[in-house]
Amino acid sequence: MSHHIAAEHSSASHHEHENPAALADLLERDAAVAGGYLDDASAWIGTHFDSDPEQILDLGAGTGVGTFALAQRFPTASILAVDASRAMLNHVTDGAAAAGLEQRVRTVECDLNASWPDAAAGADLVWASSSLHELSDPDRVLRDAFAALRPGGVFVAVEMDVLPSFLPAEFPPEAPGLEQRLHAELTALGWNAHHDWASTIAAAGFTSLERRQFTTQATSPTVAPYAGAWLAKMRGALVDRLDAVDQAALNALIDDDAELARIATTIRGSRTALLARRSAAADQQN
Ligand SMILES: C[S@@+](CC[C@H](N)C(=O)[O-])C[C@H]1O[C@@H](n2cnc3c(N)ncnc32)[C@H](O)[C@@H]1O
């Protein structure tokens, strides 16, 4: 659920210095607050199978929020969580142990920019949520995903459409519109330029593309700490790009849990999922 980079498909400019613990915390909070899309998307995916998928691949699994949602939706499936970060995969392993899913959830540490995991063949479903935009060569990874799917198998990519919003437009009273300015600055840095993977997916050989948008509009006490994690991430990226008034307002909000809880009560956001199939029919012709 990180930002998106349309043109270069490269994470290097923003991610290489990202603190893994902070990212893991943000991913977990995201799932807790906005994770309704996981239920909705996995239910939608299920309608594309006559019988539940047995082998699932989670590309760029992070802490495993998608892995566990799919494990819950498809109770006989085995899931291979792939990530370049051992720290992330440790969360997956720990989560699997806590949920009694050790027999069904495996991890493989693999930098998808450099290679494709051998263990990933014969999948019924490949899921890539908020991860394609981080890859240096998503075209190649999608071709590898196509090859790893059995004929008739399904590929799903999910990306955020917009950065999540938490603050009212009139905040702060002395200079309304802080969040809009933060998002505008981040957009100028290449964040949240949502890439539409439809043509890349088609070029890899997939057909029957479908698209579904999942919106989040939730009010809950857990919004504030999630908002705080996002605002801190934004502040880190916008050092020297905010004027003194905005910098002070942002600092005051991040440093004051009670004020944050009063101001950031609602999250608004949306994600789009693209689903496509490795056609069984096309395979027979080849
Ligand atoms: C924004 S997180 C999304 C995690 C998870 N899919 C979710 O929706 O919460 C992106 C993940 O992709 C992983 N990643 C980035 N580049 C990668 C690469 N080259 N190979 C494998 N994983 C990568 C990161 O380590 C991170 O865990």
Question: For 12-164+191-218+269-280, which CATH class?
Answer: alpha beta
CA of residue 45 to ligand 1 center, whole Å: 21
What's the pLDDT at 147?
A: 97
> Does 240 have pLDDT greater than 80?
yes
CA of residue 60 to ligand 1 center, whole Å: 4
What's the pLDDT at 142?
A: 98
Across 209-215, average pLDDT = 96
CA of residue 282 to ligand 1 center, whole Å: 31
Are the C-beta atoms of 60 and 134 separated by less than 8 Å?
A: yes
What's the pLDDT at 192?
A: 66
Residue type at position 212: R
Ligand 1 atom nearest to 31, measured from its CA: 9
Q: Is 171 exposed, middle or buried (0-12, 13-18, 19+ CB in 10 A)?
A: middle
Determine how many CB atoms are found less than 10 A away from the CB of residue 258. Answer: 8
Which of 90-99, 220-229, 273-282 has the highest average model confidence (pLDDT)?
A: 90-99
- Residue 212 vs residue 187, higher pLDDT: 212
pTM of the model: 0.89
What's the pLDDT at 194?
A: 63
Strand partners, 126: 57, 155
* Assigned token pair, 250: 């942002």
Cβ of residue 90 lying under 6 Å from some atom of ligand 1: no
What's the pLDDT band for 283 if we cut at 50, 70, 90?
low
Determine how many CB atoms are found less than 10 A away from the CB of residue 244. Answer: 7
pLDDT digits (tens, 9 = 90+) for 102-114: 999 999 999 999 9
Across 245-268, average pLDDT = 94
Cβ of residue 275 lying under 6 Å from some atom of ligand 1: no
Which of 19-23, 25-29, 85-89 has the highest average model confidence (pLDDT)?
A: 85-89
What's the pLDDT band for 191 if we cut at 50, 70, 90?
confident
Cβ of residue 120 lying under 6 Å from some atom of ligand 1: no
Q: Is the dihedral of CA 64, 226, 158, 110 positive or negative?
A: negative
> Does 5 have pLDDT greater than 90?
no
What's the pLDDT at 154?
A: 98
Across 34-40, average pLDDT = 90
> Does 18 have pLDDT greater than 70?
no
Long-range contacts of 165-169 (CB under 8 A, 24+ apart): 165/267, 165/268, 165/269, 166/223, 166/226, 166/227, 166/230, 166/231, 166/263, 166/264, 166/266, 166/267, 166/268, 167/227, 167/263, 167/264, 168/263
Residue nearest to atom 4 of ligand 1 (CA): 62
Cβ of residue 1 lying under 6 Å from some atom of ligand 1: yes
Are the C-beta atoms of 92 and 105 separated by less than 8 Å?
A: yes
